[in-house]
């Protein structure tokens, strides 16, 4: 025996006015967000670049240890799981970097070009970690000092006169590079940041690791 419907014979049909299969429903006092177009694109990330996370370096009695993960992050998405951020320069020098991976690839190509020049000149001279650390300081500082002032912004004054002021863009290589290796039988560990600030220390971490790992070690 069928039970009577609580609304009686005037009960509305099931899901009256609701969405059909695979469609959206406009609820009362709600509006569906329009799809993005070329004029109003949807922003999926505040940082549309691929970056690497923290790098950790530790100097001990007989050598240097440098560690980094292999994750390449696109915004908050771990997009590339096998990204190499620790590179061997020669038999005595290793570099690692956090920050923009594209900038680090460019910086690594400059280092390889520098190493090739040293090999062509001959004489058995190789780039030592302290020399590379000093050279990277000049490279990164020189890049951050190159301001792009070729773009001018028009500003109207007193509704009559137009003035053009240069827009200065700060565009360094967004990396913190750790250099480690053996210098005349002694361990060397140094860091250069994206504005060319260089320092040496027994324990170095970049990114958020500087606020987490270093206090634990010290």
89 touches 132 (CB < 8 A): yes
User: Among the CATH numbers 1.20.1440.230, 3.60.20.10, 3.90.420.10, 3.30.530.20, which is that of 50-217?
Assistant: 3.60.20.10
- Tokens 């027994």 identify what position? 202
Every domain of the chain and the residues it spans: 50-217
- Helices of type H across the chain: 101-121, 129-144, 209-217
Q: What is the pLDDT of residue 76?
A: 75
- Helices of type H across 96-170: 101-121, 129-144
The pTM (predicted TM-score) of the whole model is 0.70
Residue 209, CB-side half-sphere exposure with 13 Å CA sphere:
20
pLDDT in tens, the chain (218 residues): 555 555 555 555 555 556 565 555 555 555 555 555 555 666 655 556 778 788 999 999 999 999 998 888 887 777 888 889 999 998 999 999 999 999 999 999 999 998 888 888 776 678 899 999 999 999 999 998 876 655 555 555 556 655 555 666 678 899 999 999 999 999 999 999 999 999 999 999 998 778 888 888 87
Q: What is the pLDDT of residue 64?
A: 95
DSSP three-state, residue 38: coil
Q: What is the pLDDT of residue 208?
A: 77
Q: What is the pLDDT of residue 24?
A: 55
End-to-end CA gap in the chain: 79
The total of other beta-carbon atoms located within 10 Å of residue 106's CB is 13
| Residue (of 100, 65, 64) closest to 85 by Cα position | 100
Q: What is the pLDDT of residue 97?
A: 94
């Amino acid at each position: 025996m069928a039970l009577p419907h609580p609304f009686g014979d005037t009960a509305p049909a099931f899901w009256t006015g609701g969405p059909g299969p695979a469609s959206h429903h406009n609820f009362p006092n709600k509006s569906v967000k329009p799809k993005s177009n070329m004029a109003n694109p949807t922003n999926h990330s505040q940082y549309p670049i691929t970056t690497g996370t923290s790098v950790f370096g530790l100097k001990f009695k007989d050598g240097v240890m440098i560690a980094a993960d292999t994750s390449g992050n696109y915004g908050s998405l771990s997009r590339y799981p096998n990204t190499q951020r620790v590179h061997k320069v020669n038999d005595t020098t290793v570099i690692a970097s956090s920050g923009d991976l594209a900038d680090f690839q460019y910086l690594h190509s400059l280092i390889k070009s520098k190493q090739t020049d040293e090999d062509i000149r001959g004489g058995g001279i190789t780039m030592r970690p302290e020399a590379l650390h000093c050279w990277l300081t000049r490279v990164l500082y020189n890049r951050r000092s190159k301001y792009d002032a070729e773009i001018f912004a028009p500003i109207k004054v007193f509704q009559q006169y137009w003035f053009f002021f240069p827009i200065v863009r700060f565009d360094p290589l967004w990396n913190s590079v750790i250099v480690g290796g053996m210098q005349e039988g002694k361990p060397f560990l140094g860091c250069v940041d994206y504005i060319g600030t260089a320092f040496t220390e027994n324990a170095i971490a970049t990114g958020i690791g500087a606020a987490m790992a270093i206090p634990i070690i010290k």
